[in-house]
């Protein structure tokens, strides 16, 4: 199965770290959405789409990318993100619930383009947006080695 990972990550490049781990498991090329032509996505059977979260959704740049994808048939996709949800207070389960909601627009767009969503992954990412920078940010050090391990396990299960 030919797999491609498309990622948009800029704040602290934390989603990029997740993308690299997923890419290793799937033996997939990891490309930023800016580097990727929508037409070339059709060459892959499985495509992972990931970004940080802004205003409760995947980054607009990735949503715009997905919006411009050509119609596909018989393709599979998974989505992933890192978010600023404070995992230390909320716990991992709450982060997963939150990110699943945040992924909704991206998942719906991909489904409308003919992709079957086969999985999603979300974890905490370092966040220094707005006033948070004055307090040293939240989710410092995230994703950590445990998050990366979780990402690896997610991909390994999906691969099977």
Ligand X SMILES: Cc1cc2nc3c(=O)[nH]c(=O)nc-3n(C[C@H](O)[C@H](O)[C@H](O)COP(=O)(O)O)c2cc1C
Query: Which residues form the interface with ligand X (CB under 6 A)?
Result: 9-16, 52-56, 82-85, 125-127, 129
Helices (H), the chain: 14-26, 60-67, 87-90, 92-102, 104-112, 145-159
Q: Which residue's C-beta sits nearest to ligand X?
A: 125
Q: Given the complex with ligand X, which of 99 and 109 has the nearer CB atom?
A: 99
Name the minimum Å distance from CB 119 to ligand X.
Answer: 19
Distance from C-alpha of 68 to C-alpha of 50, rounded to nearest angstrom: 16
Quick one: 8 or 113, whose CB is closer to ligand X?
8
**Cβ at position 86, least distance to ligand X in Å:** 9
What's the min distance (Å) between Cβ of 10 and ligand X? 5
How much is the CA Rg of the chain, to the nearest whole Å?
A: 15
Using the minimum distance from each CB to ligand X, give the nearer residue, 60 or 114.
60
Burial class (CB in 10 A: 0-12, 13-18, 19+), 35: exposed
Please state the closest distance from residue 73 (CB atom) to ligand X, in A: 31
Residue number, 21 or 75, with CB nearest to ligand X? 21
Q: Which of 43, 49, 14 is nearest to 31 (CA)?
A: 49
* Interacting residues of 156 by C-beta distance below 8 A, sequence separation 6+: 25
CB of 150 to ligand X, least distance (A): 15
State which residue, 113 or 125, has the beta carbon closest to ligand X.
125
């Amino acid at each position: 199965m030919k797999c491609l990972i498309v990622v948009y990550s800029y704040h602290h490049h934390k989603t990029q770290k997740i993308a690299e781990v997923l890419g290793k498991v799937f033996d997939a090329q990891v490309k930023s959405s800016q580097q990727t032509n929508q037409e070339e996505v059709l060459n892959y059977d499985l495509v992972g789409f990931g970004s940080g979260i802004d205003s409760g959704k995947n980054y607009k740049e990735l949503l715009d990318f997905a919006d411009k994808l050509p119609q596909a048939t018989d393709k599979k996709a998974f989505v992933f993100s890192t978010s600023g949800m404070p995992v230390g207070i909320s716990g991992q389960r709450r982060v997963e619930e939150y990110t699943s909601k945040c992924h909704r627009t991206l998942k719906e767009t991909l489904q409308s383009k003919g992709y079957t969503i086969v999985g999603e992954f979300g974890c905490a990412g370092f966040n220094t947006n707005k006033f948070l920078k004055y307090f040293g940010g939240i989710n410092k050090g995230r994703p950590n080695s445990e998050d990366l391990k979780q990402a690896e396990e997610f991909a390994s299960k999906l691969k099977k």
